[in-house]
């Protein structure tokens, strides 16, 4: 298993100063935890609200839908689709935590900070066609950043015997990170495919990947993770 102590190019190179990365390496942060025997795939908030209807630069995308991550979201879709295909080949569980529409009764502090999220058109809540769920998948409406907060996710994972979560979707600094931190706190192994998560800020994306790799998850390219999953398929 690779780790951040190895010097292959990483998404945060050029953003996190090398001196700071060296401090983490020397102190032993980022030890890989590896894959367990029973992984599940989480596809978080991959809805039109976070993408826009069609690929376009983010400055244009937010003119159409202010919650869109524009081109950055669409770049991640092929990687999410590859992971989805790999999990289907494994007959492993796929779960879709998704942003559920909110009304006055469940409007919270996040909506106070970002009131535009209350103005998303109904179409924005649909899953994008390229990675939409099948009937056998588990969809989980959520009202806060973490997919665990106030949902049945933990119960599903326990009943399925899951020990590893592969977390994809958006945003890297928001719902992905919150879910990863909670998953680690619950002692699940966590993998974040660095090109299958996305954010409207590329700086925030890179910084949060570094932080998750240092503390909470194994962070790797989709190519590497798919190879590992294919190896597991062959073994089985």
Asked if the model's pLDDT at residue 6 lies above 80, the reply is no
Q: Which residue has the higher pLDDT, 168 or 117?
A: 168
Average pLDDT, the chain: 91
List the end-to-end C-alpha distance of the chain, in Å, as a whole number: 20
Asked if the model's pLDDT at residue 106 lies above 80, the reply is no
Asked if the model's pLDDT at residue 121 lies above 80, the reply is no
Phi-psi category of residue 59: left, alpha or beta, with phi > 0 → left and psi -120 to 50 → alpha: alpha
The number of helices, as runs of H, and strands, as runs of E, in the chain is 9, 7
Q: Which residue has the higher pLDDT, 235 or 56?
A: 56
Can you give the pLDDT at residue 105? 60
Q: Mean pLDDT throughout 153-171?
A: 98
Which pLDDT band, with edges at 50, 70 and 90, does 182 fall under? very high
Of 4-18, 33-47, 103-117, minimum mean pLDDT range: 103-117
Asked if the model's pLDDT at residue 145 lies above 90, the reply is yes
Query: What interhelical angle do 222-235 and 71-90 show, nearest 10?
Result: 10
Can you give the pLDDT at residue 116? 67
Domains (range + CATH), the chain: 33-235 (3.40.50.850)
Q: State how far the alpha carbon of 175 is from the alpha carbons of 12, 29, 136, 142, in Å.
A: 19, 23, 24, 10
Cα 217 to the center of its chain, rounded Å: 11
């Amino acid at each position: 298993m690779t780790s951040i102590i190895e010097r292959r190019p990483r998404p945060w190179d050029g953003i996190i100063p090398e001196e700071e990365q060296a401090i983490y390496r020397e102190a032993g942060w980022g030890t890989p935890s590896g894959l367990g025997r029973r992984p599940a795939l989480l596809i978080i908030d991959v809805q039109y609200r976070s993408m826009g209807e069609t690929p376009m630069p983010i400055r244009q995308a937010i003119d159409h839908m202010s919650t869109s991550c524009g081109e950055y979201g669409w770049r991640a879709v092929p990687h999410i689709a590859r992971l989805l295909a790999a999990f289907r080949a494994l007959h492993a569980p796929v779960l879709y935590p998704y942003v559920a529409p909110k009304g006055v009764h469940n409007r919270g502090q996040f909506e106070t900070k970002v009131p535009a999220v209350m103005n998303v058109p109904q179409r924005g809540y649909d899953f994008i066609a390229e990675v939409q769920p099948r009937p056998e998948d588990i969809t989980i409406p959520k009202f806060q950043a973490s997919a665990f907060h106030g949902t049945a996710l933990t119960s599903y994972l326990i009943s399925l015997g899951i020990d590893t979560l592969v977390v994809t979707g958006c945003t890297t600094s928001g719902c992905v990170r919150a879910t990863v931190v909670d998953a680690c706190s619950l002692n699940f192994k966590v993998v974040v495919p660095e090109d299958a998560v996305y954010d409207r800020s590329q700086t925030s994306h890179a910084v949060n990947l570094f932080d998750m790799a240092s503390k909470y998850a194994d962070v790797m390219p989709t190519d590497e993770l798919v190879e590992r999953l294919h190896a597991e398929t062959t073994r089985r």
